[in-house]
Structure 1
Amino acid sequence: MPLEATGVGAPHAIADSPARDTRAARLQWVDALKGAGIFLVVLGHALGGLIDAGFAPGTTWFRPLFAAIYIFHMPLFFFLTGLFVAKRVTDNPDRFRARLFSQIAWPYFLWSAVQIVAITMAGSLANNPGGPLGPSLLRMFFMPSAQFWFLYSLFFFHGLSLIARRAIATPFYLLLLIAAGSLAEQQALPGIVEASLQMAPYYGLGVFLGPLLLDRGPSPRDRVSLWSVPLACAALAVTMAHAIDLGIPGRWPETGAAIILDVRSFDNFYAALAAIIALVSLARFTGQWAPGWLISCGRQTMPIFLLHILFIAATRIAVLKYDPAVPAQILLALLCLVGVLVPLVAAAITDRVGLSKWIGFR
């Protein structure tokens, strides 16, 4: 997602040499995977908004799909974000530190404030109406709003990587972060602390495996790893069945937050890890044939991430108020389209007028 210093969310520089062309081609699988990942983020939030709005009855396919996505889509993004960290921290720690504030902290505070103000103004039209504006804004410092918990957690993970600098790509650092994930399961911790520690193992895996995956381009041997795809599907199915008693009518939790609590835990680490392995394997094997639009989305994850909920929520409220009987498939497709395309248009406009860096898109 964000931060050019991690290689996630920032567009590649324009190639001006054969070496840079080669590197861009070798890392095309990362952009393709980021594009798929950000679409899953949009899809997950579109589903969650419809579930919380009471649009999806307990027996529809919305809830199983939502659960499957939430088992692995945020672990995937923490993994992808970690891939570039070891090299960036080692090569230029001062630049990494500066971008930690300009490309994570600044967008976090700016767009959290924008979204909180929008929710407050929406009042009862929002699924989760906010309280008084002043206290809501102050809570940004210790209780992130909605999707912005990712940036909040990432800031501290990157800070830890700067402190660990020389030990960053060692087994010790990886084991430390895996232990942190286990701790979150064993102790009663504040919400954001628990959510962050749950993601620590995936970030650690990205940091540890980054030098290996980025220095070695895709090869025919990657086909062997495609065996992980059916295993990942099986792991996701078993996790869902175990966590929510899949197949028993009426047993699905009523809210998106309750479903997330059921499926996102250290107990399900194996399922998220299997999904990440499968997706990385597929991306490395098929990345060279990835469509251009998917790669473009992968290079524009930051504006999509920052803006998509605003446009999804506004569209959902307007459509359900105008036509509550709209077919589920059509509404979900519309929300996903709006959640991706409108931020891309906004990014193009701000690029043209020179505002992208000022508003945290770059």
Structure 2
Amino acid sequence: MDGLRGLAIVLIVELHASAIMRMHGINPSPVLEWLDVAVYPFRIPLLMLLSGMLLPASLAKGPRRYLVGKARTILWPYAVWSLLLVLAYDFVPWSSLLDAILAPSSHLWFLQALLVAYLAALALRRVPTWASALGAFAAAGALRLVDLPEWAAQMQPERLLTMLGYFLVGALLRRHWDVAERWLRRAWVLAVLVAGAVGLVAISLAPGVRLSYTMAQYAPLVVMGALALVAIALRLRWTSPPARLLRAIGRDSIVFYVTHWFVVMAVLWPLWLVPDFVPLDVHLLAVAAALLAGGVVAWLSHRVRVVRLLFRI
């Protein structure tokens, strides 16, 4: 789990580096642009599915400890880093902070979706998990047919419901792990899952197609891709230096996730001072800097109380 979370974080950092380069009017390397398209549908859903696998153990603690734990480890860093983001990019922070929390337009939306998923899962704990997951995807699909008022549309309920669906798929996978693992280790099952993932990538590369993992109609193929990554991970030993590095990133995934945007922005912003640069080199430099800075902050968060308070209380 830690290794897959680390892989998802690295791919997310790379994607956001591409996005920030485009914000500066710089076209990323064609190779990395193709990589972005190929793995775009699976990054966040994989992270959400893995989070859902932790749900049964969290629910076993009881509602009070469950809610307190999520407030300390998700709501707190979401509020802290939303405030820091507003202070960094807005001169009227108090009027913008509520918008940043209720309708986030930054990378922090994932923490909002994760918090909503945990709250919804608690409310739906008496409902069969498979039914809740299907209901979440169905509700997300139905919302596409509804003309929502502007204030509701800004909160992106379709995205929240789709993320809830992936989260509950992860919970369902964990509840039936003994059976699921046996199936995921079968070669033909892996081949089918990979075929589904490849099919989704082929659709995303088709001209004129606007594909997003937040669209419920693509959820089955997205889930197949995420499960293919889980099946592949089961076949790896995770003992090589790169694998240990991914596991370390995965253990402190929230630190890397919330900090990387600031680092990539800081690296890419002064590019106008450089007359000649190679986009690929700058891209890789931004990703490496974000991961290195995240590693330093993660190390400090385990040793310095003030730093730890940025991520949990």
> Scaled by the length of structure 2, what TM-score is found?
0.87
Instruction: Report the Cα offset of residue 216 of structure 1.
Output: 7.0
Alignment pair present for 1:172 and 2:131: yes
Q: 1:184 to 1:200 in 2, by over 3 A?
A: farther
Distance 2:299 2:268 in 1: 24
Task: Kindly provide the amino acid, as one letter, of the partner of residue 274 in structure 1.
Answer: M
Q: Is the 8 A contact 2:48 2:170 kept in 1?
A: yes
Tell me which residue corresponds to 1:204.
Answer: 168
Tell me which residue corresponds to 2:116.
Answer: 156
Alignment pair present for 1:67 and 2:37: yes
Q: Is the 8 A contact 2:184 2:190 kept in 1?
A: no
Q: 2:20 aligns with which of 40, 45, 49?
A: 49
Tell me which residue corresponds to 1:234.
Answer: 198
Task: Kindly provide the amino acid, as one letter, of the partner of residue 174 in structure 2.
Answer: G
Alignment pair present for 1:275 and 2:245: no
Task: Kindly provide the amino acid, as one letter, of the partner of residue 51 in structure 1.
Answer: R
Tell me which residue corresponds to 1:9.
Answer: none
Tell me which residue corresponds to 1:302.
Answer: 254
Instruction: Report the Cα offset of residue 185 of structure 1.
Output: 3.1
Distance 2:80 2:246 in 1: 27
Distance 1:147 1:337 in 2: 18
Q: Is the 8 A contact 1:56 1:62 kept in 2?
A: no
Q: 1:135 aligns with which of 81, 95, 99?
A: 95
Write the deviation string for residues 181-236 of structure 1: whole angstroms up to 9, x where unpaired.
Answer: 322433344142222123222112111111223x5796697142331464145223
Write the deviation string for residues 18-71 of structure 1: whole angstroms up to 9, x where unpaired.
Answer: xxxxxxxxxxxx1111110111111111111112221017x9445433333321
Distance 1:46 1:95 in 2: 37
| Structure 1 stretch displaced more, 85-94 or 294-303 | 85-94
Instruction: Report the Cα offset of residue 287 of structure 1.
Output: 4.5
Q: 1:221 to 1:201 in 2, by over 3 A?
A: closer
Tell me which residue corresponds to 1:263.
Answer: 212
Q: 1:33 to 1:141 in 2, by over 3 A?
A: closer
Tell me which residue corresponds to 2:4.
Answer: 33
Write the deviation string for residues 164-196 of structure 1: whole angstroms up to 9, x where unpaired.
Answer: 2233x5332222222223224333441422221
Give the unaligned 5+ runs of structure 1: 1-29, 122-131, 246-260
Tell me which residue corresponds to 2:106.
Answer: 146
Q: CA RMSD in A?
A: 2.6
Instruction: Report the Cα offset of residue 271 of structure 1.
Output: 3.1
Tell me which residue corresponds to 2:56.
Answer: 86
Alignment pair present for 1:193 and 2:157: yes
Tell me which residue corresponds to 1:12.
Answer: none
Distance 2:202 2:12 in 1: 22
Alignment pair present for 1:182 and 2:141: yes
Q: 1:315 aligns with which of 267, 272, 284?
A: 267
Distance 1:273 1:217 in 2: 14
> Scaled by the length of structure 1, what TM-score is found?
0.76
Distance 1:308 1:171 in 2: 34
